[in-house]
């Protein structure tokens, strides 16, 4: 697939039936950037029933509370359509934030994109 959003903050690829969304840039805290990026991911989820998506956060060094909220909303949207979102490559600070906020109880988090993509059940 290899599609990029208009603001070049995200690259989309596919691995079989899994959509991999690679977030570019060191921070994900500007409200405009968060909304644009997650709106694009939401459109993908809306267009695919039972979507399997990996969000690669390798280059994200900071995530605001608004960003966390939008990720939770994205997960809920995917689940409502029978899909699932996995997160991959979290920086240690982001992983710690997810641990402290207990978001690890709702998100499936993996050390890399390959592991996250392979963790989806086969159809």
d(CA 5, CA 8): 5
Rounded to two decimals, the pTM is 0.88
Question: Any idea where the domains of the chain sit in the sequence?
Answer: 6-118
The mean pLDDT of the chain is 87
Q: How far apart are the first and last CA of the chain?
A: 20
User: What is the SS3 assignment for 43-60?
Assistant: HHHHHCCCCEEEEECCCC
Sign of the alpha-carbon dihedral angle for 44, 46, 52, 54? positive
- 47-102 pLDDT, tens digit each: 988 999 999 999 888 888 888 888 999 999 999 999 999 999 999 999 999 999 99
pLDDT on residue 2: 45
Tokens in use for 69? Answer: 């909220």
Residue from 68, 6, 19, 15 nearest 45 by CA: 19
Residue from 41, 31, 47, 122 nearest 85 by CA: 41
Average confidence (pLDDT) over 25-47: 78
CATH for the stretch 6-118: 3.30.750.24
Sign of the alpha-carbon dihedral angle for 115, 105, 107, 83? positive
């Amino acid at each position: 697939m290899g599609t990029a959003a208009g603001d070049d903050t995200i690259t989309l690829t596919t691995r079989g039936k899994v959509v991999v969304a690679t977030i570019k840039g060191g921070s994900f805290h500007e409200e405009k950037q968060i909304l644009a990026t997650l709106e694009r991911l939401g459109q993908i989820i809306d267009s695919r029933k039972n979507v399997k998506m990996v969000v690669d956060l390798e280059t994200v060094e900071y995530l605001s509370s608004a960003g966390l909220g939008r990720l939770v909303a994205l997960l809920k949207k995917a689940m409502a359509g029978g899909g699932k979102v996995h997160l991959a490559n979290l920086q240690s600070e982001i992983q710690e934030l997810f641990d402290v906020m207990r978001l690890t109880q709702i998100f499936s988090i993996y050390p890399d994109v390959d592991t996250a993509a392979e963790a989806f059940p086969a159809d």
